[in-house]
With several copies, the nearest count.
Chain A
Amino acid sequence: MTIRIQEDDFDLASIYAELRAPLSPPAASTAQEGTLSVGTLSAGAISLFIGLVRDINDDQRIDAMTLEHYPGMTEAKLTAIRDQAMRRWQLGKAIIIHRVGKLYPNDQIVLVGATSPHRHAACDATAFMMDYLKTEAPFWKSEQTTDGNTKWVASRDSDMTARSRWQKT
């Protein structure tokens, strides 16, 4: 259950319990061969990022938002982003959960999490997955403002800039 796209809310405590649970020995030995750390089953470091619906965007109060996505491509993209992170850092587990449908201020939208023996790997992988999700995963937000209008959220150049920092030179 490493990629989830769902209308339902998610529960941080149960996701954290999944991430924190020690790797089973076969998974651990696949993770790092040839060192004694083959047996490292405890994560050491867990990084989590949660995105919530903000009550204000571009100086307008938001009543609700609707998240549309491209079924099929969304799963493929999120899986590819997670796989990239798993290859780039030494991770135990990595998870991406994204909600779709109608959401309200302070609702949870997205959760990204990673575990690793090393804290910087866990934190960097989490930021990496968020930056790629923001620029590549086919989700679109429309916002309903308190004055009764509905508008599609514009993409931000800052998200493209954020993604570019991960490109290796």
Chain B
Amino acid sequence: MKIRYFAWLREHIGTSSEDIPLDQTCRTVSDLVAFLSARSVGHRHALSDMTLVRVAVNHVYVDIDHPITAGDEVAFFPPVTGG
């Protein structure tokens, strides 16, 4: 599974993208957030308040309870500020 981070989440975590084998217990975005938060202090810090974070699965915005599968690209980022 490919995980991507943008803006201050990328800075906190220290990488813009990581490939991780999908843990069997990870069935939703929420499960994945718990799994990733255990990886480092930076991860835990970046994902500690999910009200500040948007999630996209395969380029589509999803809620925290959205299901995920091994082939997905999951991205975490702050509310957008383009334009």
Report the nearest B residue to A138, measured CB to CB. B80
Report the nearest B residue to A152, measured CB to CB. B8
Q: A73-B59, A76-B59, A138-B56 are in contact. Are A68 and B83 (CB under 8 A)?
A: no
**A32 located at the interface, meaning its Cβ lies under 8 Å from any Cβ of chain B in the complex:** no
Residues of B with C-beta under 8 A to A136: 61, 80
B7-52 interface (Cβ within 8 A of A): 7-8
**A51 located at the interface, meaning its Cβ lies under 8 Å from any Cβ of chain B in the complex:** yes
**B71 located at the interface, meaning its Cβ lies under 8 Å from any Cβ of chain A in the complex:** no
Count A interface residues, CB 8 Å. Answer: 28
- For the residues of A in contact with B, the DSSP-based class is mixed
Report the nearest B residue to A155, measured CB to CB. B79
Contact string against B for A residues 127-169, beta-carbon threshold 8 Å, 1 for contact and 0 otherwise: 0001001111111111000000000111100000000000000
Q: CA–CA, A72 to B59, complex, Å? A: 7
Residues of B near any A CB (own CB < 8 A): 4, 6-8, 56, 59, 61, 75, 77-83
